[in-house]
């Protein structure tokens, strides 16, 4: 029973630790705005919990402020819950409300009572825990325990007809009882005067539950049970003694070999005279002492490096380097950081007006301003924030929202504006700063999104004047999507690879006009569009086995005006690449042509020489080879090859010792018929006729 009730206690704290349940406690208007979604989320989170305790009949979270009751698949008002599903028999609504909501409980078990759940009557023990403080109750958690399961356990006692067994809670209330006939009785039955003649009252306390288990049994049954217990204990002690002796012998045997190995290892790797002097244990003691000293050194080193560890943690957290809340909590513990809160958000402090320039003077100036702002932040917010030096021109602040600030973000804004004003008043030099804020989130794992939103809120428009504070969700940013379909990228890719500067530039300017002039993209979308064009450029460089120049990475825009400047740079890079490709093509074509002709002339008399074979040798397609060969020589490959073979055939035909078949084979043909047809097509006569004419001419 202790195990089941302990599981119930763990279930209670698991329910109350759900973020959705914690937020629902403070909602006054359940049907205002998105509050109804919050209660639905709480019900869904409860449904997602794995509760397999057979003692639990049902459970409800009763939120006092909203007058709503929530469990794993139902949401009722208090009136509806009492009228339709969950009633305490014999109680009207006012009594029901006073019992479960108005009273204050701390993990308290109430006496078993008849409860109706969905028209079925159950005997249940209510387990009630009040939400919030006694003076400011937020509601209660009610878990209904099946009293039949409890009485089944009590029925294991040997009770006579006049006997009774019952359970008393910490408050002295009888919460469950059973008679000698194994029938459940009302809790008040245990309080009646019993005839104890011939009976013995015995009790035991549970330190886990705070319950007192009481049984009133006949003397003869108690004596019999005592005798049985004594006999069982004797048998257990005897058995334990035998098992203990056997285990001791076995462990002694098992431990002797490792101990011998340890002694051998110590004497071999340490002082050879150690064992002989009988100082092995002294050496072990000295070694352990050195380990403790080393641990202390490590702790001092860790403490010295703690700022670096904390900075690395903040960087990883804001950049989305964690995959789970558990991983974040582990890293927080290692870094010695505590950031517990119901809600978080990221504020970004910006130092605008520097453009892309970052010389040593400007960097020193920015660092001075950052130091002033950090001191002001620490004085204003203290432990509520964690400051991270995210980028050159930005500071990132992880802000822990108080329960009041969760629903009143203007309080945060007001304090931030006061902070900015204070910086201007206290600083002798101009420290213009802007503060932007992302969305609130309930989990640390969502902070990277809030950080990106805070940065985007700064970059989405041109800053003509310094604005004190701006929320991301209040920015009027363009939602138009950029225009850069895959087909356009393929065209740009191909135009550049063939070195067509004019068409390449025309396509780029068309894309810029469509995206920047017509669609009027936001700063973030313009930046993405230019990065897409730059990405295509880098892909072409990779295709050409060229290394990108230094600084050709991701484009960062601080203002909209910078977009056109970056675009003109991109056009220049594309045109320069086209020019280089054209130079390479001319050089490559001349070299490839000479290699092809040399290869063909060398292998012209191989019968299997073909377009496909030549193309495969040079690792090019057959179609490209045919087109390229015609462009470079002005002749088709087949005509050029036949010209070489016929030149050799005419030389061989003069020698009358060679047959026509031999001439055909030596000229690169597989058969005489093929050779004769080719010869007749070229000279309008057969090889034999040509031989005869040449013989007559020689005579």
Q: What is the pLDDT averaged over residues 352-367?
A: 71
For the cut 60, the answer to whether the pLDDT of residue 311 exceeds it is: yes
Q: What is the mean pLDDT of residues 163-181?
A: 81
Mean pLDDT of 484-494: 80
The predicted structure's pLDDT at residue 8: 79
Confidence tier at 592 by pLDDT (50, 70, 90): confident
* Percent residues over pLDDT 70 in the chain: 82
- Residue 144: how many other CB atoms lie within 10 Å: 21
3-class SS string, 523-536: HHHHHHHHHHHHHH
Q: For residue 143, which phi and psi values (nearest 5 degrees)?
A: -120, 125
Query: In this prediction, what percent of the chain has a pLDDT beyond 90?
Result: 2
The least confident of 83-87, 327-331, 556-560, 661-665 is: 556-560
> Which pLDDT belongs to residue 340?
84
Which tops the pLDDT comparison, 206 or 689? 689
d(CA 682, CA 184): 118
Q: Is the pLDDT of residue 203 over 70?
A: yes
Place of tokens 């470079």: 632
CA atoms within 13 A on the CB side of 187: 19
Its pTM stands at: 0.35
pLDDT-derived band at 261 (thresholds 50, 70, 90) equals low
User: CA–CA distance from 179 to each of 114, 184, 187, 189, 445 (Å)?
Assistant: 18, 7, 11, 9, 55
Kindly report, residue by residue over 597-646, the tens digit of the pLDDT.
889 888 888 988 998 999 888 888 888 788 888 878 888 888 889 889 98
3-class DSSP assignment, residue 273? coil
Angle made by CA atoms 542, 546, 547, in degrees to the nearest 5: 95
Q: Which residue has the higher pLDDT, 433 or 576?
A: 576
pLDDT averaged over the chain? 79
What integer is the mean pLDDT of 346-371? Answer: 75
The position carrying tokens 């453009």 is: 355
| pLDDT of 274 higher than 50 | no
Residues 290, 293, 294, 298, Cα dihedral to 10°: 170
**β-strands 343-350, 174-179: how paired?**
unpaired
pLDDT for residue 9: 80
Provide the pLDDT for residue 189.
47
Residue 663: how many CB atoms within 10 A of its CB? Answer: 22
Confidence check: pLDDT of 192 > 50? no
Average pLDDT for 124-130: 90
| pLDDT greater than 60 at residue 280 | no
More confident residue, 621 or 5: 621
Distance CA 439, CA 473 (A): 7
The mean per-residue pLDDT over the stretch 480-501 comes to 79
pLDDT for residue 67 is more than 80: yes
pLDDT of residue 172: 83
239 confidence band (pLDDT: 50, 70, 90): confident
Q: CA 87 to CA 122: how far, in whole Å?
A: 10
The string of pLDDT tens digits covering residues 409-434 is 788 888 887 777 777 666 655 566 78
What is the tens place of the pLDDT at every residue in 506-549?
A: 888 888 888 877 777 777 788 888 888 888 888 888 887 887 77
Phi, psi of 213 (to 5 degrees): -95, 120
Tell me how crowded residue 282 is: count the other CB atoms within 10 A of its CB. 11
Give me the pLDDT at residue 682, please. 87
What's the pLDDT score for residue 215? 76
Q: Which of 194-208, 258-272, 304-318, 373-387 has the lowest mean pLDDT?
A: 258-272
Average pLDDT for residues 690-697, to the nearest whole number? 82
Looking at residue 174, its pLDDT comes to 87
Nearest to 635 by CA among 609, 665, 673, 596: 596
Supply 425's token pair. Answer: 């008043």
For position 237, what pLDDT does the model report? Answer: 86
Instruction: Answer with the residue of higher pLDDT: 245 or 474.
Output: 245
Residue 7 has pLDDT above 50, yes or no: yes
Confidence label for 464 from pLDDT (cuts 50, 70 and 90): very low
- Tens-place pLDDT, residues 77-116: 988 888 888 889 889 988 888 888 888 888 888 898 899 9
Instruction: Tell me the average pLDDT across 238-249.
Output: 85
Q: What's residue 161's pLDDT?
A: 64
């Amino acid at each position: 029973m202790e195990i089941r009730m302990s599981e119930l206690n763990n279930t209670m704290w698991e329910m109350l630790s759900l973020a959705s349940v914690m937020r629902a406690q403070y909602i006054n208007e359940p049907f205002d705005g998105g509050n109804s979604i919050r209660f639905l989320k709480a019900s869904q989170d409860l449904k997602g919990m794995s509760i397999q305790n057979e003692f639990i009949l049902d459970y409800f979270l009763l939120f006092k402020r909203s007058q709503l009751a929530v469990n794993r698949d139902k949401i009722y008002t208090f009136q509806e819950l009492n009228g339709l599903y969950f009633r305490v028999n014999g109680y009207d609504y006012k009594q029901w409300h006073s019992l479960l909501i108005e009273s204050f409980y701390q993990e308290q078990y109430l006496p078993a009572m008849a409860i109706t759940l969905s028209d079925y009557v159950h005997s249940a023990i209510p387990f009630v825990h009040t939400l919030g403080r006694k003076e400011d109750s937020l509601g209660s958690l009610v878990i209904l325990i099946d009293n039949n399961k409890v009485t089944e356990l009590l029925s294991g006692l040997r009770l006579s007809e006049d006997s009774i067994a019952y359970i008393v809670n910490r408050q002295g209330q009888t919460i469950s009882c059973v008679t000698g006939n194994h029938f459940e009785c009302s809790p008040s039955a245990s309080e009646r005067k019993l005839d104890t003649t011939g009976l013995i009252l015995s009790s035991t306390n549970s330190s886990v539950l705070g319950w007192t288990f009481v049984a009133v049994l006949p003397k003869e049954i108690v004596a019999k049970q005592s005798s049985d217990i004594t006999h069982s204990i004797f048998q257990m002690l005897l058995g334990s003694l035998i098992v203990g002796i056997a285990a001791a012998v076995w462990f002694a045997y098992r431990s002797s070999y490792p101990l011998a190995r340890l002694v051998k290892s110590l004497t071999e790797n340490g002082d050879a005279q150690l064992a002989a002097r009988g100082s092995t244990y002294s050496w072990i003691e000295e070694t352990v002492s050195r380990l403790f000293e080393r641990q202390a050194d490590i702790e001092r080193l860790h403490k010295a490096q703690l700022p670096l560890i904390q900075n690395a943690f903040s960087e990883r957290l804001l950049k989305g380097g964690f995959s789970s809340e558990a991983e974040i909590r582990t890293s927080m513990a290692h870094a010695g950081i505590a950031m517990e809160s119901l809600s978080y958000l990221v504020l970004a402090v910006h130092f605008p007006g520097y453009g892309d320039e970052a010389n040593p003077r400007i960097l020193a100036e920015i660092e001075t301003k950052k130091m002033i702002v950090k001191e002001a932040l620490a004085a204003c917010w203290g432990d509520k924030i964690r400051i991270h030096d995210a980028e050159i021109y930005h500071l990132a602040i992880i802000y822990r929202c108080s329960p009041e600030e969760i629903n009143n973000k203007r309080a945060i804004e007001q304090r931030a504006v006061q902070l900015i004003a204070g910086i201007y008043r206290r600083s002798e030099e101009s420290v213009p700063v802007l503060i932007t804020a992302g969305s609130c989130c309930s989990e640390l794992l969502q902070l990277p999104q809030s950080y990106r939103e805070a940065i985007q809120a700064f970059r989405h428009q041109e800053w003509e004047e310094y604005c004190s504070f701006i929320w991301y969700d209040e920015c009027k940013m363009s939602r138009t999507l950029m225009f850069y379909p895959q087909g356009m990228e393929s065209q740009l890719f191909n135009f550049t690879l063939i070195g067509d500067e004019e068409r390449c530039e025309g396509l780029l300017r068309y894309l810029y006009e469509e995206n920047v002039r017509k669609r009027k993209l936001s700063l973030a979308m313009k930046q993405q569009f230019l990065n897409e064009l730059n990405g295509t450029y880098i892909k072409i460089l990779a295709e050409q086995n060229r290394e990108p120049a230094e600084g050709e990475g991701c484009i960062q825009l601080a203002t909209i005006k910078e977009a056109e400047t970056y675009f003109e740079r991109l056009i220049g890079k594309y045109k320069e690449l086209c020019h280089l490709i054209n130079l390479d093509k001319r050089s490559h074509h001349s070299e490839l042509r000479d290699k092809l002709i040399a290869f063909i002339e060398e292998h012209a008399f191989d019968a299997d020489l073909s377009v496909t074979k030549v193309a495969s040798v040079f690792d090019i397609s057959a179609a490209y080879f045919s087109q390229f060969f015609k462009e470079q020589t002005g002749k088709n490959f087949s005509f050029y090859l036949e010209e070489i073979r016929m030149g050799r055939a005419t030389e061989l035909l003069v020698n009358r010792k060679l047959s026509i078949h031999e001439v055909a084979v030596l000229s690169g043909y597989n058969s005489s018929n093929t050779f004769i047809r080719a010869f007749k097509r070229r000279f309008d006569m057969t090889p034999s006729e040509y031989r005869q004419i040449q013989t007559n001419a020689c005579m």
